Chain A
Amino acid sequence: MEQSDCIVFEGSNMAECHPVAFRWPMRAKVEHGAKLIHVDPRFTRTSAMCDIYAPIRAGGDIGFLGGLINYVINNERWNTNSFFREYLLNYTNAAVIIREDFKGTEELDGVFSGLMKYSGGAPEWPYDGFLGAYQTDSWQYARHGEEQGQPRGGEENAAPGRSTAQRPVRPDEPLDEVIRSLRKPVPLRDDTLRNPRCVFQLLKRHFSRYTPEMVEQVTGCPQATFTKVAETILENSGRDRTTSFAYAVAWTQHTNGPQVIGCCALLQLLLGNIGRPGGGIMALRGHASIQGSTDVPTLYHSIHGYMPAPSALKAHQSLREYLATEGTATSYWANMPKFLVSYFKSMYGSAATPENQFGYDWHPKISGDHSHMPMFVAMADGRVKGMLCIGQNPATSLNAGLERKGMRQLEWLVVKDNFLIETATFWNRAPEVESGDVKPEDIKTEVFFFPSAQVAEIDGSFTNTQRMLQWHFKAADPPGQCRSDPWFTHQLALRLKRLYADSALPRDEGFKKLTWDFDPDDPSKESIPGEPDLKKVLREINGYYTGDPTRHLAGFDELKDDGSTTCASWIYCGVYPAADRNLAARREPDPPGVPGAELNWGWAWPANRRVLYNRASADPQGRPWSERKKWVWWDGKQWTGYDVPDFSLTKAPSAPGNPKGIGLDAFSGRQPFIMIPDGTGWLFNSSGLLDGPFPTHYEPAESPVRNALYRQQSSPVLKYWKHDGNPLASVGDPRFPYVITTYRLTEHYLSGVMSRWNPWLAELMPELFIELSPELAAEKGIRNTDWVRISSPRAHIRAKALVTRRMRPFRLGGKIVHQVGMPWHWGWEGVVTGDVTNTLTAMVGDPNVSIHEGKAFVCNVEKA
């Protein structure tokens, strides 16, 4: 970001939520005059640092970004400057022709072709939540030698996959043959970009109604401000200048979050800002290892390294069928058999053999959406009996009243944390218990609380938001009975291993075969008895040669699909290349004054690359786009530069792609996007997203206004879990006239577990508050610091008023819409306490990733 000429913060309050990372935008601003822009419903500490503040009401992001896209593609400089055209034609799918039966939102008034009623899912698990679903055949590329209209699979990589295999498989078929057979004919293209079915023309048409006037009507942002943002971004994009975007959960926590991010990616591809220094889209993630816990997935939908979890609902009944369903013949993903087999070897060790499909049958198959919201709804229905809660606080989470109702149905609950958190005391101190509505005697849950060790009391690694692993070393023993989280899971596993040791049941065989070799070689050296050897864990993640655990794998190029390598996470392969080389523990900064990517500080996946798809930082001939924006280039013999090149090292820019080739062999020297099946950045998403190939503005599930752009009000495929305690307000419900958004403060963290117990932080922000404009406050007779009652269709809570002109009323069409905002860090435990803001939120979410819509919903506000 320090190399950016313009940085747009949208969906992020970076100065408040990532203050130290904000050091770099500030340095870009002070040292080389980079322009900073904040697009947000509230004037925050980030806005205060920016050159332009563009106010938009919560839920208007695609309206705003779509407006920028429309502005850019109709801009004269963009249409005449050779850079944009060269980048677009070579590095994106702008020229690709889409099937003739595809229809867009212009034809169908806000939806795409293929919309159906949702009919998937297992009868045993009625919690998928889908309102509708798309059949995506018509969204596919038109290809040489293929008849239009014939159904076929998508282009997807590891994103939400198809349900049917691309072709039938034979039980003894070599795994690489399965992949090879998925090779598709080359797509049709029109490099003049004039064909009305080409992606660029479809895009132009799709965004044509996102005019500055419409942006103002949808978002409330004055046209003049919007235009200033658009011009500033354009001025700072091109051969010699780059613009970056930073977002956080204010883009993801919507019923169309991935589409907001996709919309930004689309804009950045149009502007040539992907794969280049000072460009890109920064996902500012919010937990120390939230990236790590996605890569090393404690998430239901994915197994290590972004491979989809095997599913009973898809054609995943055998290892080969899984590959025939999820595999792709082109891009680096063609190596999936190696990743997958090495993963199964890490699970079942020597018991995983070619004959038993490397233990594939033992591995559980998911049977629908088992994510946070449906699991808690199922819990409220009594279908979840036990919960392990380690470092999370669901008693204060989404529609918290419903989550706590779920917890009251549990037979047992284990909570492990640093302090006695709300989730541990849901049965004796929650608001419904304090009010007498629920009696502890009636709650039959057996509850355990285990105190935790903290970061300085344990070895281990976090993966930060830039995919960088950093090892932290234990500095002191934890007090009392505090134990590390690995200690807990390791000890639980050892006990369960003992309990199942004598079982002869077939269904227990997989667990009996699960390898579990993490005891330290010399337990007497451990000051805490029973602590696992965390370097052994890292070794299993990194991988080693099956025959010799002392021979670590140096990188994912060494992986094999025959069982001779074991590797839990192919993307982390290389972090621990030798027993004495834990690269996550490196702390060697670059020498001052030398341009570089700090490659000896920690280790970033994949292969220690810092900028992904960095081949795009050079022009199609392999030369840096400009001296100022030099990053990775072709030196005549190989790719070189400041970063690890994200490309086949010796593939010349002039090398043609092999039309019959597999993996990267299929790509020419000009296709930078090596993880994407056609090697280009996608302006149009044939697959991977369940809610449309182009981003489209939909209103949040709860909104005071009608969709100004289309008849379709909100996403036709969003997820909503109908349940008592989870009602939604209808459009414009007069009982809930205000838009509310929720957020974090610099001074606190999450539900406050790591901050409200901490006196130094507690005194900085002691009480829960609601930010509202003086206009709304006057209307409601509320003065600064008055107690206010905030209600949503789910619940009502109390908070103190913070009346400030940093909040403003929005004019949407002819209507004044008030926007309020609340931080969500409070609960009933801790040094400072307050009501739980999340009690107000609804269980409604995005179809792709089941993330809830906490950033935009409706409420009422009254003086308490």
Chain B
Amino acid sequence: MPLSRREFLRVTAAGLGPGTALGSLAGLGASLTPATARAQQLRIKDAKATPSVCPYCAVGCATIVHTVGNEIVNIEGDLRSPHNQGTLCPKGAAIYQLHKNPNRATKVLHRKPGATKWDEVELDWAMDRVAELVKKTRDETFVERLENGRLANQTTAILAVGGATLDNEWNHLQQKLLRGLGIVGIENQARI
């Protein structure tokens, strides 16, 4: 069983260390001098281990993120977790590539109405512009009372979607801001 197997391994390993004499065919001599093969380099040597959680499905597999400085060098299952016990599915095993991926977008883009291409813009400018647009739409469409006189204090002209893959803390901030503004179109993937 995995726990006992892993425990056993740790015990076995305790007596070993890098540089232990090589194995049963040592008789072959010089060719077995431990040349530093790529596969023999421990990528997480001296790395910092940070507890994390898999961002894919809702099983909540615990992971360990290894970093050297600000660089993520490895992400694997957390052996201590009672739920996944160090295991992961292929997506969980690929979390590294969500972070370290040459296809990853790292720039803020803006497309003007009717434009045929993107412009790269400053983060601050884009944030200011989004805030202006939210305010404009809210102010133009806000309904204090329905036609029948019932209190509403809302707008249906803004929709916010997303959240099921994101943190509780973001969900709280998002729904608080939107409800605070009177925006009622708040949805995430739990519905679909």
| Given the contacts A440-B114, A446-B113, A747-B90, A123 and B173 also touching, CB distance less than 8 Å | no
Knowing A299-B188, A385-B141, say if A462 contacts B156 (CB, 8 Å): no
Contact B67 A455 (CB under 8 A): no
Q: Does A436 contact B (CB under 8 A)?
A: no
Contact with B along A331-375 (1 / 0, CB 8 A): 000000000000000110000000000000111111100111001
- Which residues on the A side are within 8 Å of B182 (C-beta)? 364, 507, 510-511
Residues of A within 8 A of B152 (CB): 312, 364-365, 367
A587-624 to B contact mask, C-beta < 8 Å, 1/0: 10110100000100110000000000000000000000
Indicate whether A454 reaches chain B with its CB closer than 8 angstroms: yes
Asked if A144 is at the interface (CB within 8 A of a chain B CB), the reply is no
CA distance A446 to B110 in the complex (A): 8
Complex interface: chain B residues within 8 A of A295 (CB): 168
Specify which chain A residues have a CB less than 8 angstroms from the CB of B38 in the assembled complex: none
Per a CB cutoff under 8 Å, which of A291, A383, A412, A418 touches B104?
Answer: A418
B153-186 near A? 1/0 per residue, CB < 8 Å? 1101111111111111111111111011111111
Q: In the complex, which residue of chain B has the Cβ closest to the Cβ of A125?
A: B156
How many whole Å from B23's CB to the nearest CB in chain A?
A: 31
Q: Using Cβ atoms and an 8 Å threshold, which residues of chain A touch B28?
A: none
* Option from B87, B110, B144, B173 in Cβ contact (under 8 Å) with A507: B144
**Binary per-residue interface labels of chain A (441-458) against chain B in the complex, 1 for a CB within 8 Å, 0 otherwise:** 111111111110011111
Across the interface, which residues of B come within 8 angstroms of A815, CB to CB?
none
Q: Is A518's CB within 8 Å of the partner chain B?
A: yes
Contact flag A293-B81 (CB < 8 Å), given A384-B158, A450-B108: no
Residue of A nearest to B141 (CB): A385
Chain B residues whose C-beta falls within 8 Å of the C-beta of A451 in the assembled complex: 104-108
Q: Is A46 an interface residue (CB 8 A)?
A: no
Question: What residues of chain A lie closer than 8 Å to B161, measured between beta carbons?
Answer: 372, 387-390, 392, 394
Known contacts being A287-B164, A481-B107, is A489 close to B173, with CB within 8 Å?
yes
Q: Which A residues lie within 8 Å of B84 (CB)?
A: 20, 23
Tell me the nearest residue of chain B to A506, going by C-beta.
B144
Say yes or no: B72 contacts A456, CB within 8 Å: yes
Contact of B163 with A496 in the complex, beta carbons under 8 Å: no
Which B residues lie within 8 Å of A298 (CB)? 160, 162-163, 171, 174-175, 186-188
Q: Is there contact, CB below 8 Å, between A461 and B116? A: no
A537 to B191, alpha carbons, bound, how many Å?
A: 25
Which of these, A288, A362, A367, A585, contacts B60 with CB under 8 Å? Answer: A288
Pick from B81, B108, B167: contact of A589, CB below 8 A.
Answer: B81
Q: Are B50 and A473 in contact (CB under 8 A)?
A: yes
For chain B, the bracket of interface size reads 35 or more
Bound-state Cα–Cα, A754 to B189, Å: 15
- Judged by a CB distance under 8 angstroms, whether A275 is at the interface is no
What are the residues of chain A within 8 A of B175 when measuring CB–CB?
A: 296-298
A460 sits at the interface (CB 8 A)? yes
Whether the pair A482, B53 counts as a contact (CB closer than 8 A) is no
Interface-central residue, B129, B157, B186, B190, by most chain A CB under 10 Å: B190
- Would you call the interface of chain A mostly helix, strand, loop, or mixed? loop
B48, B97, B103, B171: the one contacting A289 at CB < 8 Å is: B171
**For residue B118, which residues in chain A have a CB less than 8 angstroms away from its CB?**
449
A20 to B81, CA, bound (A): 12
Q: Digit string of B112-155 for contact with A (CB within 8 Å is 1, else 0)?
A: 11111110000100111111111101001111101110111110
Beta-carbon nearest neighbor of B109 in chain A: A449
Residue of B nearest to A838 (CB): B192
Q: Are B191 and A299 in contact (CB under 8 A)?
A: yes
| A414 within 8 A of partner (CB) | yes
0 or 1 for each of A747-760: is its CB under 8 Å from B? (1 = yes): 11110001101111
Within 8 A of B (CB), among A379-436: 379, 383-392, 394, 397-398, 411-412, 414, 416-420, 424, 427-428
**Is A764 an interface residue when CB atoms closer than 8 A count as contact?**
yes
Minimum Cβ distance to chain B for residue A160 (Å)? 14
Would you list which residues of chain A between 271 and 323 have a CB under 8 Å from chain B? Answer: 284-300, 303, 309, 312-313, 317
A450→B126 contact, CB < 8 A: yes
Given known A446-B133, A496-B135, contact A486–B173 (CB-CB < 8 A): yes
From A20, A447, A514, A851, B180 is in contact (CB under 8 Å) with: A514
**Selected contact of B129 from candidates A124, A448, A484, A538, CB within 8 Å:** A448
Q: Which residues of chain A are near B48, meaning CB under 8 Å?
A: 475
Of listed B71, B110, B162, B168, residue having the most chain A CB within 10 A = B168
Q: A183 at the A/B interface (Cβ < 8 Å)?
A: no
Contact B109 A587 (CB under 8 A): no
When C-beta atoms are compared, the residue in chain B nearest to A366 turns out to be: B184
In the complex, the chain B residue whose C-beta lies closest to that of A317 is: B151
Does the CB pair A455–B91 fall under 8 Å? no
Cβ A755 vs Cβ B116 within 8 A: no
Chain B positions 76-114 with a Cβ under 8 Å from a chain A Cβ: 78, 80-85, 87-95, 97-99, 101, 103-114
Give complex CA distance A645, B64 in Å. Answer: 32
In the complex the two chains form, what is the Cα distance from A569 to B83 in whole Å? 26
B13 within 8 A of A: no
CB distance from A689 to the nearest CB of B (A): 17
Tell me the smallest distance from the CB of A250 to a CB of chain B, in Å. Answer: 14
Known: A289-B168, A448-B126. A455 touches B55 (CB 8 A): yes
Contact A293 B59 (CB under 8 A): no
Among B115, B117, B172, contact of A296 (Cβ-Cβ < 8 Å):
B172
Contact A290 B58 (CB under 8 A): yes
Q: Complex Cα distance A541/B169, Å?
A: 8
Q: Which residues of chain B are within 8 angstroms of A313 by Cβ–Cβ distance?
A: 150
> In the bound complex, do residue B82 and residue A590 qualify as a contact, i.e. CB atoms below 8 Å apart?
yes
Q: In the complex, what residues of B have CB within 8 A of residue A456's CB? A: 50, 52, 65, 72, 75, 95, 99
A849 to B143, CA, bound (A): 25
Flag if B162 contacts A390 (CB, 8 Å): yes
Question: Which of A299, A387, A587 has the largest number of chain B CB atoms within 10 A?
Answer: A299
| A761 beta carbon closer than 8 Å to chain B | yes
Please give, as numbers and ranges, the residues of chain A lying within 8 Å of B150 by CB-CB distance: 312-313, 317, 365
Asked whether B184 lies within 8 Å of A296 as measured between CB atoms, the reply is no
Q: Which residue of A lies closest to B89 (CB)?
A: A19
Point out the residue from A284, A372, A454, A601 that lies within 8 Å of B187, measured CB to CB: A372
Q: Are A514 and B176 in contact (CB under 8 A)?
A: yes
For window 35-81 of B, CB contacts with A under 8 Å fall at 48, 50-62, 65, 67, 70-72, 75, 78, 80-81
A587–B80 alpha-carbon span in the complex (Å): 8
- In the complex, which residues of chain B have a beta carbon less than 8 angstroms from the beta carbon of A285? 57-58, 190
A460 lies within 8 A of B146 (CB):
no
State whether B185 touches A300 (Cβ < 8 A): yes
A490 within 8 A of B: yes
A864 contacts the other chain (CB 8 A): no
Across the interface, which residues of B come within 8 angstroms of A427, CB to CB? 111
B residues less than 8 Å from A124 (CB atoms): 143, 146-147
B186 to chain A: which residues have CB within 8 Å?
297-300, 370
Chain B residue with the shortest CB-CB distance to A479: B106
The interface residues of chain B lying within 8 Å CB-to-CB of A493 are 173, 177, 180
A342 to chain B, nearest CB (A): 14
CA distance A759 to B90 in the complex (A): 12
Contacts of A572 in B (CB 8 A): 168
A850 partner residues in chain B, CB cutoff 8 A: 191
Instruction: Identify the B interface with A (CB < 8 A).
Output: 3-4, 7, 48, 50-62, 65, 67, 70-72, 75, 78, 80-85, 87-95, 97-99, 101, 103-118, 123, 126-135, 137, 140-144, 146-148, 150-154, 156-177, 179-192
Beyond A428-B116, A480-B107, A516-B177, 9 extra complex contacts between A and B, CB < 8 Å: A289-B167, A296-B172, A317-B150, A365-B153, A391-B163, A418-B98, A460-B167, A493-B180, A749-B57
25 interchain pairs, CB-CB under 8 A:
A125-B156, A290-B189, A292-B167, A297-B175, A299-B191, A300-B185, A364-B179, A364-B182, A366-B154, A375-B185, A442-B114, A448-B130, A450-B108, A450-B123, A456-B65, A456-B72, A462-B168, A470-B60, A473-B50, A489-B177, A490-B173, A493-B177, A507-B144, A746-B90, A750-B165
Task: Please list the 8 inter-chain residue pairs (A to B) with the smallest Cβ-Cβ separation, ordered nearest first.
Answer: A480-B106, A464-B60, A460-B167, A495-B131, A287-B164, A514-B180, A392-B162, A364-B154
